[in-house]
Structure 1
Amino acid sequence: MSAQIYQCKFCNNNRSFQEFRDYFRHITLYHAGERNFRLTCDISSSCGITYKTFASYKMHVHRRHYSLLNSSSNQQQVNDVQDSDPLSAHTNSSTVIDPTTTNDSNADVIYVDDDNDTDDFGEPWVDLPINNTPQDKPIDLLKIQQQYTRFLLELREYHILPQSIIQSITTHILSLLDNIMELLEDQAKKSDQSSARTKSISINDMTSIVKTIKQSITISTRNEYQFLESCKNFFNYSPPIENILSLNEKKKEYSYYISIKESLRKILEKEDIMELLVENIRNQYGLTNADADLMFSCRDGIGGRKIRKNSFMIQLYVDGIGVTNPIGPKKDKHKLTIVYFMLEDIPDVFRSMLQCINLAAICHTRYLSCEEKLKQFYDPIVKDLNDLQHNGLSINTFNS
């Protein structure tokens, strides 16, 4: 039973590695930006696929061989798998799978090239200098700075993010590192109870903590579902609700509704928002009582004066917009009907802010051609408004 050797095919001298984690680290640091990236995964007999982008290769490794990145003890398990299959030495390891020829029946092929890091011309987003030195240099602060600068460069040039967003990302990363340091210090104090002045932590404990942190970060961004679930848990995110407009067997038609009641609850639970609304209503009442010719809102009209003074008013808007996707063969314009609302009692200086304009429902305009579908589209909005009118809304805020 012989140990597997991993050779770097990008280096001129075909540098070899005893452990896969060292090999993967070398590929990540020195060859991720290769202009003509082509790498075949031959860890086990079930692989043998050539990846044309580093992103697709990295995704395959993290999904199929993640255990090899954590400890060297797992190396023996892979060797056992390869030695147990006498056909593994004759497996064709030069298979190239393009996204257009992907076979869904092959579990390994599903993940090939589904994250394309090229632009419309098929070239990498940026050509960075590749260091093909025979021996990897040790990781130092300069290497970390270089890798982070490359990350920021990708955000700016490929994802077209402004500098203000990049600075915000950097601020949050620094805050994350501070929290990690505090966590390590707390663990060091718990590990060494003999001396209150000593702060020490073993390498194994530190590795375990960092591993746990990496797993928690990975879970939040693994896929769209996990990301939305994290938003629900951490930020009280309420996803839009599907509203079926037609049960046609050929094609189902949906509209999407965001609960006005839940949106109002989150708005009113914000700090100082209740005080801001009440103060604005009082100021308007004081001005209109002093001058009967002044009108600031619907409250100052004949019908508005019949509304209870201890209630808030909601103003609904219906608008039609056109959207298009300039990328791709289909560039048709899609017409959408949207319903949004705003608190009528919010001060005028905040009315034009996007945070104060809240989406309630959205639908393709062509779906609302008949009266029945139109009624189904507005039905959840009417139910929400009736419930607010008769039952009100209970919120948790300051001492009220």
Structure 2
Amino acid sequence: MSINCVQQCSICFVNVNGNNGYIRHIRQVHVNDRQFGTPCALCDSKFVFTNLKSFISHFRKHMLHSLFDEVPTPDLCVNHDIINSDVNDDFEEQLTIPEYEHYDQLEEIKKFYLKMLLRVREGHILPGAVMKTISLSLCSLLETFSIFLLSKLNINLDNPILRHVNGDIEKILFEISKNEELFISDCELYFRFIKPKEIQLPTGNTAYYIPICDILMCLFQKKDFYECIKREKKYICQFDGQDIIYHYRNGEIGRQHCILKIKENTILLQLYCDDISVVNPLMGKNAAHKLTTFYLSIDDLPACYNSSLNFIHLLLLFYRKDFENENNRQILFNLLNKDIECLENDGLILPGDITPTYFTISTLCADNLAAHELGGFTCSFNSGRCCRYCLIHHKDMKYVYREADVLIRTAASHDFHVKHIDNVPNDKSLYGVNEKSILSTLLSFNPITSLPPDIMHDILEGIMPKIISSLLHTIVSTRLCTSAQICYRINNFIYGINDRRNRPPTFKEKDIHDKRVPGKAMEKYCLFLNLGLRMMRTTKVAHGTENEGFKAERTVSSSLPSP
């Protein structure tokens, strides 16, 4: 049975305020879903739309042909993870008569054209010089259209009003695309664009830093953004003193956080570091450049929003090779450290508040190599004390499995190690520490507690492939199943809609004998999750049926060392 007003999202089942709120929620939350799929809630059809644009077009047709006015249904229960921001809202409020009299249509044309250029440049990664070509083409198109329209209306082609309007529009188009500075200034005016600060390095290269205070002020100007964070913080507090670690704040490290203990009105920030490579496809590998990026996200946002790309913001960008120099490292992080210190000590007065709200860092996520570089640890993982959580030696890692058998690093012991190597630099290998961390000036940052494990490399590309290879090798060696049968079952497994994107590559018999699991991290994870279903083969035994995969798992588990 069809309905006239949507009250709940058909994908994540979050309460929405009517049809307009539903469309707004779909565009803001599910626009980046890899496997988008939803039926229409306004009709009886069971067809599942897998394309966002076609679904929105279909939904709007229902709204236009609806015989009843949409009445937003009040929420009976407050949902802590609803954000009703007005960014990119297609349903603009109607202007009143006094507002319409002062409404500048040329300004609206300028804003629309500016948004179009942004989408073309950012969406298709085109250079800035393409703007002039677009402006010339649009002006020619506008002139041709005007001549065609006037000829159809039997109006004189030399109409002065038309020439005046076309001249104003052409002037706007060419002013925007005249140079990069004017384009950026217009973006700052209309879309709250934050201009990056250039950091000149002694090597001659340039790094870019987006002021973190400006990013936060821009974010908290969005409607209901701050209220959503407040509701989430109240929800997190419900788990205090319980055995459930719902959030960083509920853990032992979060409870001992130096800023959270002394300042109650504090919002947590999470930083993320990663390397990317850019290349000119016409020049091959010689034109490849490796860049290091730092990103920012609000750690107190609900999880469904915190994982969205719309809430992850670029913070710092520089060449990877510039980070290797100690002087460059200090210059690169000087502005970031000062801004975070200011946020921790002075805070920001957010819209609607009269008292400051403080911001501090919860964690800095990075891969193992980047985490060791940022924390000042040794970057060699093949010798010495290569673990940033304990003082185990590399030669003992294959034989020690219990935490009680090693000496765990603590914040106090790490500070002692740093002071010692400052006095005796030759003892770096003794503790596995090379230098003081570049972020150690921050009260909230400590290399031991602020650098979480690298889950992708440690688990998805470390532990899981090891278990899979040992399991399959044991199945073959104990003759429970042949390697050809295993490869056939793995390669011909039918995946669901959520796993098709991460389907692992073709599995070969040689991979089983070599104890090797091919594929990327998510492909190995997909193989690990579905391995039990693939290996199921029911065989009749004396007391019924038993799964050979389970028998193999018991065989492998008895041969693997206990944790």
TM-score between the two structures when normalised by the length of structure 1: 0.45
Could you say which structure has the greater relative contact order, defined with CA pairs below 8 angstroms and 6 or more residues apart?
Answer: 1
TM-score between the two structures when normalised by the length of structure 2: 0.33
